[in-house]
């Protein structure tokens, strides 16, 4: 994790077969026709499992802080995945510890922890593409780690963001690749409402009371209006649009308060430590 220590999040095993996968929407865009492609919802049920892939760039963004054991599990699970001979790049973003006191012993422990992480990632072998390590000089925190991790270099570049306490299924890339081809490049399925996909299963309706979400037992893909931070695939065009929207609201001091949304309570409690309410 990034920034000030937070309660440890149990490892999420992203099983391809049994997990529910979501596609998410962003409420910033609106139109008189909520479903411009009448066949879109039906196409979600049966995506082509072996589509012909166009040329695109896939970058894994691992966000890390100070847990070597968690980071090593995360990276090893990523290295064990099936990438179908596609080039896949790995970017590791390591946040710096916060200097909160003048305790020299604690400072030495923090430095030692950071240096052990750097030694590990330097030696970590990535056989599928380039490996890049970004080690910050100061503590950025969770929000900045996410928002500054990626600015797409083209409309054919995709980012898969993973926090360091997660492990992925060996089949995760096959699934995400299929989504990219079927729902980003396939004109018959494309919708401007789809901003990416998450391997996290949402458990509640993001209204004021956060009631549990009810889905058909056979559902594997469904639309959802909140970003999922546990294994998030980002599409390039929508991410740029969101970042520009965020910049405007941030500069003008506009808070992400939406009446009736549970995310408003999250932001009031945690403030700038989180960014997901901005997406609601």
- 3-class DSSP assignment, residue 156: coil
Contact residues for 46 (Cβ-Cβ < 8 A; gap 6+)? none
For residues 269 and 274, give the distance between their C-alpha atoms in angstroms, rounded to a whole number. Answer: 10
For residues 165 and 68, give the distance between their C-alpha atoms in angstroms, rounded to a whole number. Answer: 10
The predicted-structure confidence for 5-28, as pLDDT tens digits, reads as follows 343 333 333 333 333 334 443 333
Domains in the chain (CATH in brackets) are 13-26+56-279 (3.90.550)
Contact residues for 195 (Cβ-Cβ < 8 A; gap 6+)? 24, 25, 26, 227, 234, 235, 238, 239, 242
Amino acid 197: pLDDT:
86
Cα 269 to chain center, whole Å?
A: 22
Structure tokens that stand for 117 in this block: 């992480």
DSSP 165: T
| Residues of the chain scoring pLDDT < 70 | 1-53, 201-216, 219-220, 222, 224-226, 256-258, 260, 262-263, 265-267, 270-280
Amino acid 206: pLDDT:
64
End-to-end CA distance of the chain: 22
The predicted-structure confidence for 156-185, as pLDDT tens digits, reads as follows 999 999 999 999 999 999 999 999 998 899
Amino acid 192: pLDDT:
80
């Amino acid at each position: 994790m990034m920034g000030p220590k937070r309660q440890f999040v149990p490892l999420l095993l992203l099983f391809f077969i049994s997990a529910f996968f979501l596609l998410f929407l962003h409420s910033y865009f609106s139109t008189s026709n909520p479903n411009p492609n009448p066949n879109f919802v039906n196409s979600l049920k049966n995506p082509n499992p072996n589509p012909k892939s166009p040329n695109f760039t896939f970058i894994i963004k691992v966000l890390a802080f100070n847990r070597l054991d968690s980071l090593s599990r995360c990276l090893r699970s990523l290295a064990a995945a099936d990438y179908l001979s596609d080039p896949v790049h790995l970017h590791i973003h390591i946040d710096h510890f916060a200097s909160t006191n003048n305790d020299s012993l604690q400072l030495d422990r923090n430095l030692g922890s950071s240096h052990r992480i750097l030694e590990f990632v330097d030696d970590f072998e990535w056989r599928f593409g380039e490996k890049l390590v970004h080690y910050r000089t100061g503590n950025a925190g969770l929000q900045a780690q996410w928002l500054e991790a990626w600015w797409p270099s083209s409309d054919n570049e995709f980012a898969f963001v993973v926090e360091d306490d997660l492990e992925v299924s060996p089949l995760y890339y096959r699934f995400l690749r299929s989504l990219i081809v079927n729902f980003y490049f396939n004109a018959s399925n494309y919708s401007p409402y789809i901003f990416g996909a998450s391997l996290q299963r949402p458990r509640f309706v993001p209204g004021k009371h956060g009631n549990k979400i009810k889905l058909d037992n056979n559902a594997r893909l469904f639309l959802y209006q909140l970003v999922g931070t546990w294994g998030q695939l980002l599409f390039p065009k929508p991410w740029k649009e969101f970042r520009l929207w965020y910049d405007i609201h941030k500069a003008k001091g506009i808070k992400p308060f939406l009446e009736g949304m549970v995310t408003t309570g999250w932001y009031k409690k945690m403030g700038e430590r989180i960014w997901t309410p901005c997406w609601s």
